[in-house]
Structure 1
Amino acid sequence: MPASAPPASPLPALRPLRRDELPADAVGLARYLLDKVLVHDLPEGRLAGRIVETEAYPVGDPASYAYRGRTRANGAMFLAPGHAHVRLLYGLSWTLNISAEAEGIGAGILVRALEPLAGLEAMRQRRPAARPLDLARGPGRLGAAMAIGPGLDCVDLCTGAGLWLADRATAAGDCGTVGVARRIGLSRAADLPLRFFVADNPYVSGPRAALREAQGQA
């Protein structure tokens, strides 16, 4: 894999995603959000990246944070689709999950990787030792690059302000070939094909060989 990233694409005109556009199921949402844009507007400027990899954690999934029912820690997973659930991974990194079912039903997706579009210098300042391709390649790296923290838990991502989800105003609705693979780093339900990614995109995380084998299965 090359050490340097391709030049960032120009940031397109964006429009906020409406809640009624979001599929009300985890697998559907994980697929739908590929090629959409995650935006974080901060006082010092905008951070934005194209979503190129997600994982689904549907109802009844033993690997889901919501599996054992609603708690104080996982309450965001039970909100209407499109709310942020910010989770600390291995005590080290904040990660971004998104609620994915009707309100009161616990399920969600994990946003695993972004292709940076705006705010690259600010991302580099947050991850100074990272190679360009690795700024937001993987959920913990993504959280750091996009300034994701616990104060964003339960935030509504459909408001068009702060941390929000967007579509390109001129999007054709086709992100290209979608790859499907097993989820990464799990001890339970690890064999389920619930990881989705934009095929051939260099910002997708995980072993390159495994990704090549998985491409085109969607």
Structure 2
Amino acid sequence: MPAVRPVPEPRAPSEGAALLEGAAPLPRDFYARPALVVARACIGKVLVHTTPEGTAAGRIVETEAYRGPEDLAAHSAGGRRTVRTEVMFGPAGYAYVFQLYGMHWAFNIVVASEGEPHAVLIRAIEPVIGLPLMSRRRGVAPGRIELTNGPGKLCKALGLDRAAYGMDVCGAQLSLLPGAAGPIGRSPRINVDYAGAWAKKPWRFYERGNRYVSVPPRH
């Protein structure tokens, strides 16, 4: 029986900063794969966003896969192609950003092949770089899990908003860096009850035991 890998310990700021030294963004072919493969593979990777305010980053600990047009939980369900969803029909490795409840931003990465409107939602991160900056943006103490334990929270902490729509995730400003993950769990996606049977698909992935995972199950 293979050994179970432990959940990585939270990184100190100095250790997090070392991630940027000599690390290259993941290549576009990392994203040019099926949504379920990428959603799982993103766990443990480090999402980095650099703005004039500084650089902030976190280990991805929770994702969801969306596979339109068949997937009724996807914004591209039924082949819906609008100004909002247009980037999903393009090549992999670009940002799809949308508003939740007209208030909060959510960050997704376009995946699979061009013409397939598939995306991976980043639901939660464990902060590792730029905690003071993230704390100021959120108005939340650096050590609290509420800093980044949800899609809207992580976007505000990282400074991701409408301006990130269509941004290259393989570039210098926004990228994923290599990183390790602990044991990975699966569950149905969150808040997609409107999608009928599609809401029951186990297309949510999360790092087991990580306190930044947004909602149960976490184990």
- Report the TM range for the smaller structure's normalisation: 0.7 to 0.9
Single out whichever of 15-24 and 51-60 deviates more from structure 2.
Answer: 15-24
SS at match of 1:193: coil
- RMSD of aligned C-alpha atoms? 1.8
TM-score of the pair, normalised by structure 1: 0.86
- Within the candidate set 26, 30, 34, 1:25 is matched to 34
Q: Is the 8 A contact 2:111 2:120 kept in 1?
A: yes
Separation in 2 of the partners of 1:88 and 1:105? 22
* Shift of residue 76, structure 1, vs aligned partner: 1.3
Given the alignment of the two structures, is residue 151 of structure 1 paired with residue 163 of structure 2, yes or no?
Answer: yes
After superposing on structure 2, the runs of 4+ consecutive aligned residues of structure 1 that deviate more than 2 Å are 5-9
* Equivalent residue number for residue 142 of structure 1: 154
Task: Provide the rounded CA distance (Å) in 2 between the counterparts of 1:88 and 1:44.
Answer: 22
In 1, Cα distance between the equivalents of 2:112 and 2:32?
8
Structure with a larger share of its residues in helix: 2
1:166 corresponds in structure 2 to: 177
* CA contact 1:78–1:101 (8 Å) conserved in 2: no
Which stretches in structure 2 are left out of the alignment for 5+ residues? 1-8
2:218 to 189, 193, 211: 211
Checking the alignment, whether the CA contact within 8 Å between 1:111 and 1:139 is kept in structure 2 is yes
Distance of 2:97 and 2:186 partners within structure 1? 24
1:27, distance to aligned residue in structure 2 (A): 0.4
- Comparing 92-101 with 14-23, which one deviates more in the overlay? 14-23
Query: Which residue pairs with 2:95 in the alignment?
Result: 84
1:68 aligns with one of 78, 86, 90: 78
Q: Structure 1: which 5+ residue stretches go unaligned?
A: 169-173, 213-218
Query: Is residue 2:27 matched to residue 1:15?
Result: no
Distance 1:156 1:7, change over 3 A: closer
Counting matched residue pairs gives: 200
Quote how far apart the aligned CAs of 1:21 are: 2.7
Q: Distance in 2 between matches of 1:64 and 1:22?
A: 18
**Residue 196, structure 1, aligned to residue 205, structure 2:** yes
Distance 2:123 2:155 in 1: 9
Correspondence 1:43 to 2:55 = no
Maintained 8 Å contact 1:8/1:116: no
Residue matched to 2:191: 185
Q: Return the TM-score normalized by structure 2.
A: 0.85
> In structure 2, how many angstroms separate the alpha carbons of the residues matched to 1:22 and 1:85?
13
What per-residue deviation string (whole Å, max 9, x for no partner) do you get for residues 112-167 of structure 1?
Answer: 000001110111111114662111111011111111111110111012x1121211
Separation in 2 of the partners of 1:102 and 1:23?
6
C-alpha distance in structure 2 between counterparts of 1:73 and 1:67, whole Å: 13
Alignment deviations for residues 66-118 of structure 1 (CA, whole Å, 9 cap, x no partner)? 11322111111112121100100011100101111211111111000000011
- Tell me which amino acid in the other structure corresponds to 1:96: F
Aligned mates of 2:104, 2:45 — CA distance in 1: 23
Partner of residue 6, structure 2? none
Offset at 1:56?
Answer: 0.5
In 2, the alpha carbon distance for the partners of 1:148 and 1:68 equals 28
In the alignment, the residues of structure 2 paired with residue 89 and residue 146 of structure 1 have an alpha-carbon distance, to the nearest angstrom, of: 16
Q: Is residue 79–residue 103 contact of structure 1 (8 Å, CA) maintained in 2?
A: yes
3-state DSSP class of the match of 1:203? coil
Retained in 2: the 8 A contact 1:30–1:54? yes
Q: How many Å separate the matches in 2 of 1:8 and 1:110?
A: 26
Partner of residue 128, structure 2:
117
